[in-house]
Amino acid sequence: MRVVILIVVAVVLLVGAGGGAWWFLMGPGAQKTEELISQINKPEPVFVELHPLIISLIQEGEVTHHVTMQLTLQLYDAWDKDLTDRNMARLRDAFLKEMHSLYSLRMVRKAGFESPLVQKRILEICDRLLGEGVVAEVLIRELERRQPNAA
């Protein structure tokens, strides 16, 4: 009689474990399990703040404004911070070139210096220089806008 009870208990445990494995690995609970695991393993974002960029706006051969911008790169994880730091000079140079060309356009000046178009173009530069999947988002903030002194 003991042997029969042990066999029944073992079969019930095996069926329960198999049903649970099927539910969480292949069945309806698989999607929820995958989402939960991805949330647990999601790395903390890292923010890299660049030194302020000063862009001179030129119209008809004259400097009309000096705009000081603060760029912050949000990286997906800390592993890419070293790569970003090593390429900081290249990034700053590319950002300055792109912002000078963008801010010369009237439509960009009217949309604002922190417009989504500017953010998109800066993110494309990051993808090109650092590789795709390194920078998650670019945060742009205008610190100061001033007119140069008249001579």
Q: Distance (Å, rounded) from C-alpha 137 to C-alpha 72?
A: 9
- Cβ atoms within 10 Å, residue 19: 11
Average pLDDT, stretch 45-56?
A: 87
| Whole-number pLDDT of residue 59 | 74
What are the structure tokens assigned to 105, written together? 């356009």
pLDDT single digits (tens) 8-43? 888 888 888 887 777 667 767 667 767 777 777 777
pLDDT of residue 43: 72
* Nearest of 54, 94, 56 to residue 73 by alpha carbon: 94
For range 48-72, the mean pLDDT? 82
> Given the structure tokens 């140069």, which residue do they identify?
148
Q: What is the pLDDT of residue 93?
A: 92
Whether the predicted model's global pTM rises above the 0.75 cut = no
- Backbone torsions φ then ψ of 24, nearest 5 degrees: -85, -20
pLDDT the model gives residue 124 = 92
Beta carbons within 10 angstroms of residue 113's beta carbon: 19
Contact between 75 and 81 under an 8 Å Cβ cutoff? The reply is yes
Residue 128, pLDDT score? 92
Q: With 80 as the cut, is the pLDDT of residue 53 above it?
A: yes
pLDDT in tens, 80-95: 888 889 999 999 999 9
Q: Which residues contact 74 (CB under 8 A, 6 or more apart)?
A: 45, 46, 47, 135, 136, 137, 138, 139
